[in-house]
Amino acid sequence: MRTSDTAITLRAMPRWYLTLFTSDALERFGFYGLQAILVLYASAPVSRGGLGLPVTDAATLFGAWIGFMFMLSIFGGWLGDRLLGNRRALVVGCLVGVAGYLCLAVPAGWAAAVGLPLVAVGSAVYKPNHQAMINLMFGGSRGREAGISLMYIATQVSALAAPLLVGYLGERVSWSLAFLVAALVMLTTAIQLRLGAGQFGEVGHRPVRSLTAGERTTVARRIGLAVAVVVAAVLALGLAGLLSVSMAIGLVGVFSVILPIVCYIVVYRNPGLGALDRRRLRAFLAVFLGSTLFWMIIAHAASLLNLFARDHVDRLVLGMEIPASWLQAATPLFILLLAPLIAVVLPALGGRNHVPVKLAIGLILVGAGFLIMSLATVLASSGEKVSPLWLVIVYLTHACGEVIVAAVIISAAAEVLPPGFMGRTLGLMWLFAGLGGGLGSGVVRLAEVIPEPLYYLGLGGVAAVCGLAFALGRRPLANGLTAGLHTPAPHASGDAVKEGSR
């Protein structure tokens, strides 16, 4: 998408869309900045302001953190649906995120232990409710899909800028300063949303289905009990000397597997759903699981691939060694550059089977990227630093996969269940993405015992095979996803990208 095309499309959008567009770009700045430096900050020596973790723990920390964030998204969606309203939940999520980044700016291990969960909670509350607001404000399906796709592509400008600024500040100046900048940007997001609240009218101001007085009492009691149990467990483990980063990562991995299953069953058995709603939800389980694998592989960019860039890539450019985190900017740059081409090709793909077809393409692309990465690790095994072009090509496959997969999954998830379940459906979508992060935090440890070429070869092969399975099963899956809907689903992300690129 060219800058001029984006400007024209944005001018055609209503003011409320521009408010949500800007807030998403600002909120994502902090997320992508942290994604670019977390593994580097965690593995940096304490003497340089880092956490001093072993390389493997640092790599698994990112997977656990992103898994924890996605894992909480179902509760973030529920918070907007039933308690705060989607609009208020956006501001609450931003303010919690500000507190998290401010904690990370304190150069102490305990501050990072508090700050990382707070940032995860803030994003988990913000993201599903932001997507719910977009879906609620748009009247027609086509407009909604175009808006989602335009926002996803255009906010890659923020994803491009964050690794460059936050990465440079963290690696070359101060980790604390990098986190302070993220906190300032997040605070600006909250202020901007608050000032623009009148543009949304009554949409999202109150919950779609407010809790009754009895339900509020029950929820408060259960939350209080859960908090008490967690605090007691942490204190007991700390006093026993068993509390460690490895244990925390392991617990997140276990819960990231259990929670998606439990929450899916809870939503599936909700009495507010009919037989056809449940049939669509059963079909969408395959999409959830496909996205789990997709995001698990994408998350490697901020963990093992980031460490590979630091240790094995020749980063000398014009006599200056660029920060390793700058290579994280390759994916959003490719997304911005490739949007016009994808806009031409994508609409014709899949027809009414577009959801499984596009998910298949995304999985095959990221699988191919890991097969290429396997070759790069063979070359690096001799001790020689390799060309950055190897990682750039891998990030190119990631970028193509994200453009194709992200918008179609978000848009399709909004149509699975009735509007009153939208926040929870989107939260459930991110919960299964969190399953990918949780599984990834365990999978990356295999790189210690399996030769790196075989590690990437195995994951790439699994992704490619799963992509082929979605392609072969596209018709029955598409029938299940559209059961009971009056009209077949349009060419979701394809039409959206095309419309957004004009």
Give the per-residue SS3 of 304-336: HHHHHHHHHECCEECCEECCHHHHHHHHHHHHH
Q: Contact at 8 Å (CB) between 332 and 395?
A: no
The distance of Cα 319 from the centroid of its chain, to the nearest Å, equals 35
Q: Are 307 and 55 in contact (CB under 8 A)?
A: yes
Q: How many CA atoms lie within 13 A of 324 on its CB side?
A: 22
At residue 30, what is the residue type?
A: G
Query: 433 near 405, Cβ under 8 Å?
Result: no
- Neighbour-count burial of 225, counting CB atoms closer than 10 A to its CB (0-12 exposed, 13-18 middle, 19+ buried): exposed
Instruction: Find the angle CA(38)-CA(409)-CA(494) to the nearest 5 degrees.
Output: 115
Alpha-carbon distances of 272 from 8, 204, 333, 410, rounded to whole Å: 42, 20, 43, 22
Angle at alpha carbon of residue 369, lines to 54 and 390, rounded to 5°: 75
Closest CA to 158 of 341, 333, 20: 333
pTM (two decimals): 0.79
Architecture of 14-500 per CATH? Up-down Bundle (1.20)
Residue 320 pLDDT: 86
Phi, psi of 321 (to 5 degrees): -85, 115
Instruction: Go through the chain and tell me how many residues it has.
Output: 502
Residues 6+ apart with CB under 8 A from 469: 360
Tokens 């059961």 sit at which residue? 483
Q: Is 100 helix (H, G, I), strand (E, B) or coil?
A: helix
Phi first, then psi: give them for residue 488, nearest 5 degrees: -60, 150
Kindly list the domain boundaries of the chain, sorted by start residue.
14-500
DSSP-derived secondary structure for 67-97: HHHHHHHHHHHHIIIIII-HHHHHHHHHHHH
Per-residue pLDDT of the chain (502 residues; tens, 9 = 90+): 443 444 445 566 778 888 998 899 999 999 999 999 999 999 999 988 899 988 888 888 888 888 888 778 778 888 888 888 889 999 999 999 999 999 999 988 888 888 998 999 999 899 888 888 887 887 655 556 567 667 776 678 888 999 999 999 999 999 999 999 999 999 999 999 999 888 888 877 777 777 777 887 887 888 788 878 877 877 787 777 666 666 777 777 787 788 888 889 988 998 888 888 889 899 999 999 999 999 899 989 888 999 999 999 999 988 889 999 999 999 999 988 876 676 667 666 667 788 899 899 999 999 999 999 999 999 998 888 999 999 999 999 999 888 888 767 877 877 788 877 776 787 788 788 878 877 877 788 888 889 999 999 999 999 999 999 999 998 898 888 887 665 444 443 433 333 333 3
Element (H, E) at 406: helix 389-416
Close Cβ partners of 42 (under 8 Å, ≥ 6 residues apart): 50, 51, 53, 57, 58, 61, 62
Residue 178: which residues within 8 A CB-CB, separation 6 or more? 33, 37, 166, 167, 169, 170
Q: Distances in Å between the alpha carbon of 70 and those of 128, 152, 262, 420?
A: 10, 18, 15, 21
